[in-house]
Amino acid sequence: MSLKSGFTLFEVIIVAAVLSIGLLVIVQVFPLGLRAKEAAEQYSTATLLGQRMMEEIRRKGYDDLNAAYTSEVDGYGVGEGKFEEHKGYRYRLEWWDTKTPYLRKVKVRILYGGRRMNEDNDEYEDDESGWQCLELVTYLAKRD
């Protein structure tokens, strides 16, 4: 009695199908990882930009808030702008006097992620619906 060795066509098809399904699952995981990486990079950049703004505010001091960020209301100031070196990132800064004399609350919002690719010219442009927000708050006392 002789035994035939080897694989049948049916066994080869089953193995190919199982491998194909496994590869499809792996391929679908890669875009999720890339999106998570991009989101983490954006959040890290927004955090660093916010911390840099806060340090600059602390360095300049209490009185500079009046000159740099003004408004029509006494004891309150607001300002906003873009980061030239980081496209797609914006900020909004608000400060106001607290009930404690010579103490101001400062809130910085970093808006990011509001960019989409323009299909006509392959360039990024602002997309107001897609902004995410990172908010940092600190208090600043007047020094004599």
4-30 pLDDT per residue, tens? 677 788 889 999 999 999 999 888 888
pTM for the full predicted model? 0.71
Residue range 73-116, pLDDT digits in tens: 889 999 999 999 998 899 999 999 999 999 999 999 999 986 65
Q: What is the domain count for the chain?
A: 1
Residue 1 falls within a domain, yes or no? no
- The number of CA neighbours under 13 Å toward the Cβ of 142 is 12
Edge-to-edge strands, sheet with 89-97: 76-82, 89-97, 103-112, 132-141
Residue 4 falls within a domain, yes or no? no
* Domain coverage including residue 19: 9-141
Are the beta carbons of 111 and 117 closer than 8 angstroms? Answer: no
Q: What percentage of the chain reaches a pLDDT higher than 70?
A: 85
Are the beta carbons of 47 and 134 closer than 8 angstroms? Answer: yes
Residue 106 falls within a domain, yes or no? yes
What φ, ψ does residue 136 adopt, rounded to 5°?
-120, 140
Residue 51 falls within a domain, yes or no? yes
Residue 133 falls within a domain, yes or no? yes
Beta-sheet pairing, 76-82 with 115-118: unpaired
Q: What is the pLDDT of residue 110?
A: 96
